[in-house]
Structure 1
């Protein structure tokens, strides 16, 4: 390789890194992390998208494949940022001593956070899910614009927003990550525990259960980044597809399995906590794994491809 070729390659890599860095900074701007106050009309993501699109258009010479790969990288960064922000919000409110008294505030702002995060999880170009997410944004905006007393006296409106958020989350999960269908069932079960005919302050634990499970589900999806170029989620070697559990089990707050103990007023959790599709078999009391005579790779079975052995 000549010096000229080396300089050209270096220049292309530098431009790719620059475009990716600029797009990432746009996505992680402080305005994204700030919690909107009631009455604000901004819709997160609408003002960012044109700037990002113009940034991609300026990235000449990368080719269609390079552009798609860059979009995937930015989307995966956005997913991780949004899901972590939502998890931190759930953690912080659980530490509030006045948790039950502020459940309506927690629920409304949590739904706004969740709507942001679901928008980050939707694959670019998926117009149907994007329209559903925009409808959820509008629903949450109506709740934010209400006087607090009206929200307290009309819990059915909050329950409707919870149902829409849960429905969108389950649709995203089943469309992009079908291997997590068991968690989708737990989300449905959690949202069914929030009753429209009861004051929200009496359902603090039910609301918390839903948000915790939603946070864990979205975090797991974000840690299973979609490879839009190749199609399908990227599997981590040696791990369950998409699972990258980096949470500290000794850290207070949000834990990987915070819902082992049943909460009063909630529906019994009949779904097993394990995400394994193939449950472990009972241990052999002899300590030896049973041989399968029908297995051609089993030295005890017929047709051993390795040839006769000491057991044949």
Structure 2
């Protein structure tokens, strides 16, 4: 049964909301404090949250922000309920992740319609795979089709990608895009090796996917960097806000290739990458940061075995 978390410090309002929502066939959980709302949302993972803006201590806006920043609760629709009908307040609410607004006194026919609409959208979302789940599935797939030594190299590149995204303050979305691209590159490289095909030919499997556009732009950017990326592709990279990710992806791809040619020797690979970077003008901030990350890990490893 669908569940609604109702948050209001006014017990009379809380009971009224509860009676209406349950009369429509939904289960309810109630809270009168912001901190309790966050706790209940994490514990019960309701389908929708009705959240009063004016709460004691922690405001509804603060609660909404925390819910939307928490990976466990960020996809739960939040309907904010307020006595304020000011456009600035609504804009603020939407910016922190609110999905809908209702103004008191509440029209319960409107609330009923909003709940029906949000339940439908939530059901569609629940049936979708998260990007991180796809990444984990590709990790399992690659470990089944690659030889052990190739798995080690692929995992190192994946690890460095995560570190670079973190150090360069990329968003959660951008980081997941970067990690997904690393795995897609490994799959394409494996297919090319097995079939004797080109990377362009093996990109076709992306066409039915929504990610095809941004992934293909980045793959083409990496492929054409040394020979020169044309202005049309550069424009598409900018339009999709992929500039940082493009630099990270190219440097990682090049470093991975050098690492293989140097039999996994990071010191030799870093030296060669630095030489190439000077010659071909690789993104300097990414190269320096990757060098720092690798050297730090080599140092820690040396201490471990002393």
Q: Do both proteins adopt the same fold according to a TM-score greater than 0.5, normalized to the shorter chain? A: no
Instruction: Please identify which structure carries the higher helix content.
Output: 2
Instruction: Please identify which structure carries the higher strand content.
Output: 2
